Amino acid sequence: MAKKGHKYIFVVGGVMSGVGKGVATSSIAKILQAKGFIVNPIKIDPYLNVDAGTMNPTEHGEVFVLRSGLETDQDMGNYERFLDVDLRDEDYMTSGMVYKTVIERERALGYKGKFVETIPHVRDEIIQRLERAAEVNGSQISIIEIGGTIGDFQNALYIEAARVMEMQHPDDVLMVMVSYLPVPNKIGEMKTKPTQNAVRQLNSYGIQPDLIIARSEVVLDRRRKEKLAIWCNVRAEHVISAPDIESIYEVPLNFEKDNLSDIILDLLKIRARRKGDLTRWRGFVRRTLKAKKTVPIAIVGKYFDTGDFVLADAYISVIEAIKFSGAKLNVKPVLTWLDSKDFENGALPLSELKKYGGVIVPGGFGETGVEGKLKVIQYVREHKIPYFGLCYGMQLAVVEYARHLAGLKDAHTTEINPKTAHPVIWVMPAQKKNIEERKYGGTMRLGVYPAYLKKGTIARAAYGKEIVEERHRHRYEVNPEYIKKLEGAGLVFSGVSPDKVLMEIAELPKKKHPFFLGTQFHPEFQARPLHPHPLFTAFLAAAIKHRRSN
Ligand code: GLN
């Protein structure tokens, strides 16, 4: 089974979810990458969905799309952003995928008539997938985040796989527990007991954590570290304090204050390949924290129903992309969430939009809030407020333009009105078949496609090149039948597919509007801290200018 010499770091969560296991995993990967290793982070989602594509963003958060088109968990986005690499299909695993492979193999007589059982067959499929991921990445260290919390039924099998791997190659496997230490208001003291219990639970699986990352509101004092050391059988130096901080991108820097990469390399019995250098990263963090100038940006969406926590989660890549461009331009973007339904029913007047430097309508599906978004788009177009539409935000900009400037009154997307007289946004025949046959999983236009950019446009100027590749996730497209008409009315399709059939970017000339641009793709998926996305940067620059002149 597990190959000797390749190192595996498993990250498991104790006490409760949502305390930053993904950021801890990304940060561990980051500091090891800085020491010269090829690392590959892996996310394991223990649910039975085959991928994250069919899940509702209000429940699950954003669906992050890889280059290949695989629809994954938002943690994958964090890994890509921290490491500045494109991840592969092999770096993501759900129980749905694992079981599907095992069951299909069984149907093909792959188990030669034997009983097929969770142990060993499913467990071994998990281990094989981890090995394959290491192989295709050519990595030296894999960092594997096991979703859920210790004690869940769902993830026990993955922890068992880790145990077997560690038993076979004790020097090659490291177990990290990310735990939470509450400071209850009334008591005013940091409590270690929940973490002690979580460790005990992990022990009951036959696993001893090598490191504890202690998440808390505040820094862990020496006393707590010693207490955990005694009760959890982990050396006090191996309890790493991870207090709440302003920016998640500071976490790798904080870890290194405790020399975490050296501790990990010692435990794995390997030597750094170079002196870790996080200078550029530190510069980026400093710029995000120090920027004094602010620019207010409105995001008009609909996935806000379950409160603030989910709200940020559903659009996380968009938020981060704005931040990265902010760091580049030395401004702090201040984001406000506006629910498009409020513009529909008049709870918010459109003049509210005057407060912002720019407005974004991000990706979305279905009917809710669409008319509100259309009103917003019309308003910002007419009032020359910078506008950036992402996927649905582009499609709806085309609908709005068709209705009010191309004389196509009833224009719509067939996603909302299949009977519209002017289906300016429609589905290509292949997609139509998918919908009719209810084949929804993994069948959208997904992943990277090239686009050719027209000279003299905002898009071309922003990217500074002719051919770009961007990630997609949508079923509907601009209807080729209406392109002439829309262009005749002044809309510019500044990015098109190589065969010129699919419209990838729509914009208005700078003479008419300072920044009115929509992309059929999702530029946010490729924005990185040290490589901000050129379109987000161009939009933000326009927003700053708009604020200054108003
Ligand atoms: N609902 C639209 C489509 O399927 C847009 C999707 C999106 O914004 N990601 O084409």
pLDDT at 56: 81
Instruction: Confirm or reject: Cβ of 303 under 6 Å from ligand 1.
Output: no
* pLDDT tens for each residue of 145-191: 999 999 999 999 999 999 999 999 999 999 999 999 999 989 888 89
Catalytic residue among 415, 524, 533, 546: 524
Does 335 fall in a domain? yes
Residue 287 lies in a domain: no
User: Do residues 18 and 118 share a domain?
Assistant: yes
Say how many Å lie between the CA of residue 210 and the centre of ligand 1: 44
The reply to whether 462 and 499 lie within a common domain is: yes
CB 365 within 8 A of CB 314: no
Residue 473 in contact with ligand 1 by CB distance below 6 A: yes
The residue among 34, 541, 36 whose CA lies nearest residue 282 is 34
Instruction: Return the pLDDT at 550.
Output: 76
75 located within any domain: yes
Domain boundary among 255, 282, 309: 282
Residue 315 lies inside a defined structural domain of this protein: yes
CATH of the domain at 103: 3.40.50.300
Domain around 66: 7-282
Atom of ligand 1 nearest to the CA of 415: 1
pLDDT at site 322: 97
pLDDT of residue 435: 84
Given ligand 1 and candidates 299, 475, 521, which is best to mutate, with the most ligand atoms within 8 Å of its CB? 475
pLDDT number for residue 483:
97
Question: In this structure, are 346 and 262 located in the same domain?
Answer: no
Whether residue 2 is contained in a domain is answered as no
Residue of 373, 291, 364, 280 whose CA lies nearest to 540: 291
| Cα-Cα end-to-end distance for the chain | 65
Residues of the chain with pLDDT under 70: 1-3, 303-312
d(CA 298, CA 525): 19
393 and 476 in contact (C-beta within 8 Å)?
no
Tell me the CATH number at 409.
3.40.50.880
For the chain, the domain total comes to: 2
Last residue of a domain, one of 251, 282, 313: 282
Query: Is 95 a member of any domain?
Result: yes
Residues 6+ apart with CB under 8 A from 91: 40, 41, 42, 43, 76, 79, 133, 137
Question: Are 276 and 318 found together in one domain?
Answer: no
Catalytic residue of the set 62, 125, 160, 391: 391
Residues 46 and 191 grouped into a single domain: yes
Q: How far, in Å, from the CA of 392 to the mean position of ligand 1?
A: 5
Rg for the chain, CA atoms, rounded: 25
pLDDT of 310 = 46
**Element of type H or E holding 141:** strand 141-146
Is residue 232 part of the annotated active site? The answer reads: no
Which atom of ligand 1 lies nearest, measured to the CA of 444?
Answer: 4
Nearest CA to ligand 1 atom 7: 363
CA-wise closest residue to 457 among 523, 387, 538:
538
Say yes or no: 506 and 428 in one domain. Answer: yes
Q: What is the pLDDT of residues 213-258, one digit of tens each?
A: 999 999 998 999 999 999 999 999 999 999 999 899 999 999 999 9
Residues 397, 386 contacting (CB under 8 angstroms)? no
- Asked whether residue 250 falls in the same domain as residue 374, the answer is no
- Residue at which a domain ends, from 250, 282, 314: 282
Catalytic annotation, pick one of 60, 522, 533, 546? 522
Asked if residue 452 and residue 357 are part of one domain, the reply reads yes
Kindly state if the Cβ of 525 falls inside 6 Å of ligand 1. no
Same domain, 312 and 435: yes
Q: Does ligand 1 have an atom closer than 6 angstroms to the CB of 373?
A: no
Say if residue 18 is in the same domain as residue 103.
Answer: yes
524 catalytic residue (yes or no): yes
What is the spatial distance between Cα 296 and Cα 8, in angstroms, rounded to a whole number? 43
Ligand 1 atom with the smallest distance to the CA of 391 is 8
Same domain for 318 and 256:
no
Ligand 1 in contact with 364 (CB < 6 A)? yes
Q: Is residue 475 within 6 Å of ligand 1 at its C-beta?
A: yes
- Residue 245 maps to a domain: yes
Q: Are residues 19 and 79 in the same domain?
A: yes
Residue 173 lies in a domain: yes
pTM check: above 0.85: yes
Catalytic (active site) residue 522: yes
